[in-house]
Amino acid sequence: MKRALFPIAAAALALSGCASEALAAENVVAAPAAKRFANEGLGLKTAVFAGGCFWGVEGVFSHVKGVKSAVSGYHGGNAATATYDQTNTGVTGHAEAVRIVYDPKVVRYDELLRIFFSVVADPTLYNRQGPDRGSQYRAALVPVNAEQRKVASAYLKQMEASGKWSSPIVTKVERYKKFYEAEEYHQDFMIRNPTHGYIRRWDKPKVAALKRLYPSHYRAKFVRN
């Protein structure tokens, strides 16, 4: 039943939120390799990133080798407001975010940070990304353990000192609260809606930039949840 309703729900999104078409792709910046490597030990790990519309964040990480899943959702507010309609008001405290599960033997957390700031999110934009405006579209790093927090904080300082960006870095490290999965029709949105205007003009260029800048990390197959 959800799959039958999906086209209707997706079409409705064209009226608001991250469905509005972008006029141009984001600037691509070859972010510096991290000086502080992440050491999270063995086994699969979880990380949370907020970087504007979650369709593109999920889409890029779904093409990264070592990423086992990428789930769109909400982070920063409470359970009662963890819906698309409420988050889209910009007053819930939630950011559109993506929770990824990855194998640190294949891709480390610091490498995910580099990819994120190279092709996904502009760290100099406050409460917006691309055509999307509001606190729900802020870029934020949400470490889920002490090692990630140390690596994220060190990397933001390194970015600021690198001179790669002409404006100040405003992306923050946020304390992990609870991640709430988004509605089913948001999941795997890029692969399920490849001709959507926003996907074609905004998010597909990010995946192309991932392939061009980080070919050793790029995986052609989109990993579905």
Q: pLDDT averaged over consecutive 10-residue blocks of the chain (225 residues)?
A: 36 51 64 98 97 98 98 98 98 98 98 98 97 97 98 98 97 98 98 97 97 98 94
Is 53 a residue of the active site? yes
- From 182, 160, 163, select the one nearest 171 (Cα to Cα): 160
| Token reading at 192 | 């399920």
pLDDT digits (tens, 9 = 90+) for 18-35: 755 443 446 799 999 999
Rg (CA), the chain: 16
pTM of the model: 0.91
pLDDT digits (tens, 9 = 90+) for 81-110: 999 999 999 999 999 999 999 999 999 999
Cα 64–Cα 83–Cα 138 angle in degrees, nearest 5:
55
**Catalytic-labelled residue, pool 18, 38, 53, 107:** 53
